[in-house]
Amino acid sequence: MAERLSATASCLLPAAAAKRGAPVARSSLPLLPSPPRGAAAARSLHLIPAGHRAALRPLSPLSSLLPRLCKRPEATSRAMSSSAVCSASDPDQLKSAREDIRELLKTTFCHPILVRLGWHDAGTYDKNIAEWPQRGGANGSLRFEIELKHAANAGLINALKLLQPIKDKYSSVTYADLFQLASATAIEEVGGPQISMKYGRVDVSGPEQCPPEGKLPDAGPPSPGAHLRDVFYRMGLNDKEIVALSGAHTLGRSRRERSGWGKPETKYTKDGPGAPGGQSWTVQWLKFDNSYFKDIKERKDEDLLVLPTDAVLFEDPSFKVYAEKYAEDQHAFFKDYAEAHAKLSNLGAQFDPPEGISIDDDSKTATPEQFVAAKYSSSEEKA
Ligand code: HEM
C-alpha cells in the first residue's frame, strides 16, 4: 500500500511503540525482523495512478510536505483572524470528490487508513467543552503537523498525502468533510453498510486550534474496559457504540513500526493487497463484515491480531452482550455500526449550514466492487 512509501512513518514513530508490551493471546509470538521496504514500495507505486504519485513521493520529509498541506495561504489568513469562518463544502464538489475517492480506493487499497483518518479526526471530541473548536472532533485539525505527530496518529500522514490531490482539486470541500467522506466511502466500497452522512463541516484554521495529545484510546492500558469507557464516554458514546465501532477493525492491519502492535507480517498480509506486512484482525481485511467479532471470540488463529481493547469486548459483561450479538448477526452489526459511525463523524463538528448538507440521494451509482478471496495472501487455504 502506498502508506509504506513514506519515511515519515519512522519520523513519527511513537515512543509508545517502545513502551508497550506484546498484544494478548495470539499476538504474543516472537517478533520477526521487518520485511525489506524498498521492493514493497516500488511494487505499490505501480498501483498508484500518476496523478497521485506526485503526492506520494517516497521519503518526503514531513517538514517539506507539511508546508504544502498545512500552510496554505487561506489557512494562514484564517489563522490571523480567529473570527473568520471557513465556507461550508459545496454539494456538487462533494459528489465529485466522492467519485475521485472511489477511484483512489480501486487502485491503492487504502480503505483502512482512510477509515482510521476519519476516526482520529473525530475522536478527539470532548462533550464537556462547549466551545468550538476547543471541544475537538471532526474539524480537519488532523491535517496539521502538530497533531499528525501525536503518537496515536503515526502513519496517518500517508492518508493525508493520498487525499491531498483531491483536496487540491475541490477547493470548496473542507478537510473535515473530506476526511469523513473518505472514511464513509471506504466502508461502503468494501461491502459495509451505507452510512447516512451529512456534510458542511467547518475546518479549524490553524495548528493552534489542534487538540492536545492524549485524547484517543490506548490499545494496551492497564484496565482496557475502564479506559475505553473513559475515552468514549467523554465523546458522548455508549457501550453499544464502543463495541460497534470497534468492529471497524474488520478492516486493515496494525504495523509495529507505527503503533507498536502486531507482527511484521502474517500469511494474510505478506502479499498485500497494497504494500505487504502488518498484522490484521481478520483474514479478509479489505472486506467489511462481522468476521472481527467471530475471530476475536474464537481466537483460533495466531496470525490474527487481538489487542487488549479488542479482547475486553468479550470479557466485560456489558460489552459482551453486543459483541456476542454482532458475532451472530451481521445485519445487527451493520445497522448499529452505520448509526454509530454517522454519530462519530459528526462529533464536535460545526456545520455550515447548521443542518448540514446531504449528498445521499444519488450516491450509489453502482454496486460496490467486492474484493475477492483470490486477491489475498494464502486465500486458497481460507476461501
Ligand atoms: C476502541 C479503541 C481503539 C483502539 C485502542 C484502536 C487501536 C488501533 C491500533 C493500535 C491500530 C494499528 C495502527 C497501525 O499500527 O497502523 C488501529 C488501526 C485501525 N483502526 Fe483502531 N482503535 C480503536 C478504535 C477504532 C475505531 C473506533 C475505528 C473506526 C471506527 C478504528 C479503525 C481502525 C482501522 C480501520 C485501522 C487499520 C488502519 C490501517 O490498516 O492502516 N479503530 N487501531
Identify the pLDDT of residue 362. Answer: 54
pLDDT digits (tens, 9 = 90+) for 206-243: 999 999 999 999 999 999 999 999 999 999 999 999 99
Percent of the chain at pLDDT exceeding 90 = 70
Identify the pLDDT of residue 16. Answer: 35
Q: Which three cell numbers stand for residue 106?
A: 480501486
pLDDT digits (tens, 9 = 90+) for 143-161: 999 999 999 999 999 999 9
User: Hey, which residues does 201 pair with through a beta bridge?
Assistant: 351
Find the mean pLDDT for residues 172-199.
98
Ligand 1 atom nearest the C-alpha of 256 is 15
Find the mean pLDDT for residues 124-147.
98
Is the per-residue pLDDT at 115 higher than 90? yes
Higher-pLDDT residue of 305 and 380 is 305
Please name the helix (run of DSSP H) or strand (run of DSSP E) that holds residue 287, with its range, or none: none
Is the per-residue pLDDT at 4 higher than 50? no
Whether ligand 1 lies within 6 angstroms of the CB of 254 is answered as yes
Query: What confidence category does residue 124 fall into, taking pLDDT thresholds of 50, 70 and 90?
Result: very high
Task: Report the residue among 13, 116, 282 best suited for mutation to probe ligand 1: largest number of ligand atoms under 8 A from its CB.
Answer: 116
Q: Which three cell numbers stand for residue 202?
A: 467547518
Query: What confidence category does residue 72 fall into, taking pLDDT thresholds of 50, 70 and 90?
Result: very low
Higher-pLDDT residue of 66 and 264 is 264
Selecting among 52, 120, 249, 341, the annotated active-site residue is 120
Judge whether 124 and 136 are in contact, CB under 8 Å. yes
Q: Which three cell numbers stand for residue 114?
A: 482512510
Amino acid code (one letter) for 145: E
Whether ligand 1 lies within 6 angstroms of the CB of 217 is answered as yes
> Phi and psi at residue 284, in whole multiples of 5°?
-100, 85
Query: Whose alpha carbon is nearest atom 6 of ligand 1?
Result: 219
Percent of the chain at pLDDT exceeding 70 = 71
Active site annotation includes 52 = no
Higher-pLDDT residue of 332 and 5 is 332
Q: Which three cell numbers stand for residue 311?
A: 479482547
Mapped onto helix, strand or coil, the DSSP state of residue 239 is helix
Closest by CA to 352, choosing from 143, 171, 91, is 91
Walk me through the domains of the chain, giving residue ranges and CATH numbers. Answer: 91-209 (1.10.520.10), 224-340 (1.10.420.10)
Please name the helix (run of DSSP H) or strand (run of DSSP E) that holds residue 56, with its range, or none: none
Report CA(254)–ligand 1 centroid distance (Å). Answer: 8
Identify the pLDDT of residue 88. Answer: 73
pLDDT digits (tens, 9 = 90+) for 264-292: 999 999 998 989 999 999 999 999 999 99
Please name the residues in contact with 62: beta carbons below 8 A apart, sequence gap of 6 or more.
8, 11, 12, 145, 148, 149, 157
Query: What confidence category does residue 87 fall into, taking pLDDT thresholds of 50, 70 and 90?
Result: low
Find the mean pLDDT for residues 288-300.
97
Judge whether 190 and 183 are in contact, CB under 8 Å. no
Is the per-residue pLDDT at 104 higher than 60? yes
Find the mean pLDDT for residues 2-29.
32
Distances (CA, A) of 140 to 30, 203, 350, 355: 39, 5, 11, 19
DSSP 73-117: HHHHHHHH-TT--PPPPPHHHHHHHHHHHHHHHHHH--HHHHHHH
Whether ligand 1 lies within 6 angstroms of the CB of 345 is answered as no
Find the mean pLDDT for residues 162-176.
98
Identify the pLDDT of residue 14. Answer: 30
Helix 317-328 and helix 330-346: axis angle, to 10°? 120
Report CA(76)–ligand 1 centroid distance (Å). Answer: 31
Ligand 1 atom nearest the C-alpha of 219 is 5
pLDDT digits (tens, 9 = 90+) for 39-62: 333 333 333 333 333 333 332 334
Ligand 1 atom nearest the C-alpha of 259 is 15
Is the per-residue pLDDT at 5 higher than 60? no
Please name the helix (run of DSSP H) or strand (run of DSSP E) that holds residue 382, with its range, or none: helix 379-382
pLDDT digits (tens, 9 = 90+) for 351-366: 999 999 999 865 444 4
